[in-house]
Structure 1
Amino acid sequence: MQTPKGPSESEKPGDYFGNCREKVLYGHTQTVRTVAWSSDGRFLASGSVDTTVRIWWTAEEDIIESWKLEGHRDSVDQLCWNPKNPSVLATASEDRTVRFWDVRADLSSVCRHAVETQGQNINISWSKDGNTVAIGDKDNIISFIDTRTYKIVNTYYEKKDDKKIEFNEMTWDHNCNLFYLTTGTGAIRVLRWPSLNVVHTLRGHTASCYCLEYDPKLRYLATGAADALVGLWDLSYWYMIRAFPGYEVVGKVRSSITKTPVRTLSFTHDGKYIASASEDQQIVLSEVETGDTIYRLPCGAATNSVSWHPNGYLLAYAGDEFSSDIDGRKYRGLKVYGYYD
């Protein structure tokens, strides 16, 4: 699929994004919790409270619903693609399983492996070398699955005052030497991989940290938190160099662009922009190097997940809206924004 290339050097980014169109993809019957593009951009996957996963196949200049993956018995809360094999998908469900799928058309209905876990799974991440999947559950335990054997090989949790510390999203660095964990204290824990020894703690957010993502150019780590801010960390010094969306000035009034927790975020493929979303019915597009807000995309409800295409300026997102009646049945959709004439 030919993806949009983004604003030209002579074009204001806000004008460009303001003129983009979106497409709605219907299929799920309940709220869509998670969306993600495969590493080559050929597939878009979505997971839903309706217990299914849908694979959207890109062809020519369009996105086509191709097939549905069934097998989970509870909500599919998060999913991720194998960075080394763009046709392999892992899904995390509250049914206490992690499922691995090969989404090529001739294997569309086949779950290749199902790994049982102790807790209800809500977060998932795949190591950059493709060898390990990390799973976070509602009991705040991180389990590690070796994808060569499909066995849980290790677990990790922390306690304070006899209570487990809240863990949310997590990721590896690009060399698989470090493992980053967001926490309910607002700090980001940095662990040595694979020993899981704590080597550093990043402090900057003032409330629970929920989401994080590596800059594709390997310069920064972005984190989103309940303090309504996205933190941008220079990993050479483990220092927060910028926080946004921040504030805007209307007349003489300085006001916060958003006051609700940042639920999800995603970098563009070139690392120039970042999309962040919360409960206040908008997705904020910010310029990474300045922190400036360049566009605010209106949404009809809270957004649960955003994901930029790995090769172009298409943003997939999903949340608590997008209901439609088709043939007498109610459907929930996800949207892809960025089509440009």
Structure 2
Amino acid sequence: MARIAPRTSVAPERLKTLLPTLKPTIYHDPGTSKTSNSIRTIAWNPLGTYIATGCVDKTLRVWNADKPNVRQTTELKGHTASIEKVAFNPTKELELCSVSSDGVVRFWDVKNKQVLNEVKGLGETFTLAWAPRGDCVVVGNKEDKLFVISPTQSTPLSWHQQSVPTNNITFCWSGQRIYTTTGDGKTRILTFPEFEPFYRFDYKEESEAEFKLTGHTSSCINVELHPHNRYLATGGTDSLISLWETTEWNCLRTATKMAGPVRSLSFSWDGLYIVGGTDEGTGLEVFISETGEHLCTYKTTTPSPIVTWAPNRYALAYADSTGLRVIGFSTGGK
């Protein structure tokens, strides 16, 4: 995979020209079939050197980003159902958390293939977000319960029943708030660890007092925070990406070029670009964050619902029906 030097931004005109021409690096796992190995989740580690993938067939694998051969990977075994979400500890290079519909959350030492901790009996868990300091995670299940879990304790620190279907979670960079997307098309802003509404209207009835971001006509399924806290991006089953400024919480712009429900969202490391993945069409859509302008489409062979930028360079990891792919380029433009 060709690299770009860390912390070197690329102008939109150049990215628009180069990105669609790049060929992906193929990370192929021959031990699983195309149908059973469907990737549900992808995560880069903090240094952008490893990529974790979790699959429907219970395969949890960590790839060396520069070595796409499966023999150079680490397989982590133990889950008994689909891996729904994986995420690396933001403060540690090789500590991984995995969430499965078997109701078990595991913390892994990837280097030594060891389970550091596991928490069982959480129901069909499918959402996961690390706190910025790496001291805990928030995990959600399909019964709309949110659990606060420590990497070192075998029972949740707390749990909080949500009143609406809750689809996704992310933290603010201070760790004092979380953003949750809901089935009614809204995004909630909650205090952490109390899980109380961060903003309220004093002049409304208690049932309507909570301030929420209302930007979708159907279920809001994804949320992603700009790396410099300029915007909060939300994506919905209405195929829209909404970009909110984080001071007055106005919706500044809406991206409308997605072919289907926005199954994943990711900002580039510098926040200049945002990419969306969907399970319809055959392409990844890239937008300019500052304007909402559609920059380009990266054509894929099949729909690619899961996509994420590397944390320190312009490299995109995505999944299609055949497995993991990564595209990237160097500043030399070769």
Q: What TM-score do you get using the length of structure 2 for normalisation?
A: 0.87
1:3 alignment partner in structure 2: 3
Aligned to 1:335: 325
> Does residue 101 in structure 1 map to residue 108 in structure 2?
yes
Q: How is 1:1-341 mapped onto 2 (pairs within 5 angstroms)?
A: 3-5=3-5, 8-9=10-11, 11-27=13-29, 29=32, 30-59=37-66, 62-64=67-69, 65-104=72-111, 107-108=112-113, 110-159=114-163, 165-199=164-198, 200-244=211-255, 246=256, 257-280=257-280, 281-319=282-320, 321-322=321-322, 333-339=323-329, 341=334
CA contact under 8 A between 2:2 and 2:329: conserved in structure 1?
A: no
Q: Deviations over 1:253-288 (max 9, x none)?
A: xxxx33421110111101111110112222101111
Q: 1:316 to 1:8 in 2, by over 3 A?
A: closer
Q: Deviations over 1:276-333 (max 9, x none)?
A: 01122221011111111111112233323111111111100114x11xxxxxxxxxx2
Q: Against the structure 1 CA distance between its residues 96 and 15, is the aligned structure 2 distance closer, same or farther, given a 3 Å change threshold? A: same
Cα distance change of structure 1 residues 119 and 10 upon mapping to structure 2, 3 Å threshold? closer
Q: Aligned partners of 2:68 and 2:42: how far apart in 1?
A: 14
Which amino acid is the alignment partner of residue 336 of structure 1?
V
Alignment length (residue pairs): 309
**What is the Cα deviation at residue 334 of structure 1?**
0.8
Aligned-partner Cα distance in 2 for 1:10–1:112: 43
Percent identity, aligned pairs only?
Answer: 30
Q: Could you list the runs of 5+ residues in structure 1 that have no partner in the other structure? A: 160-164, 247-256, 323-332
Contact 1:227–1:259 (CA under 8 A) maintained in structure 2: no
5+ residue gaps, structure 2: 199-210
* 1:147 CA displacement: 2.7
**Contact conserved, 2:117 with 2:153, CA < 8 A, in 1?**
no
Q: How far apart, CA to CA, are the structure 1 residues paired with 2:303 and 2:239?
A: 14
Query: Alpha-carbon deviation of 1:13?
Result: 2.3
C-alpha deviation, 1:2, in angstroms: 7.0
Structure-1 separation of matches of 2:104 and 2:123:
8
The answer to whether the Cα contact below 8 Å between 2:85 and 2:99 also exists between their aligned partners in 1 is yes
Whichever residue aligns with residue 113 of structure 1, its letter is N
AA of the residue aligned to 1:294:
L
Structure 1 Cα separation of the partners of residues 304 and 251 of structure 2:
25
Separation (CA, whole Å) in 2 of partners of 1:311 and 1:150: 33
In 2, the alpha carbon distance for the partners of 1:296 and 1:78 equals 26
Q: 1:150 to 1:86 in 2, by over 3 A?
A: farther
Q: Which residue identity does 1:208 align to in structure 2? A: S
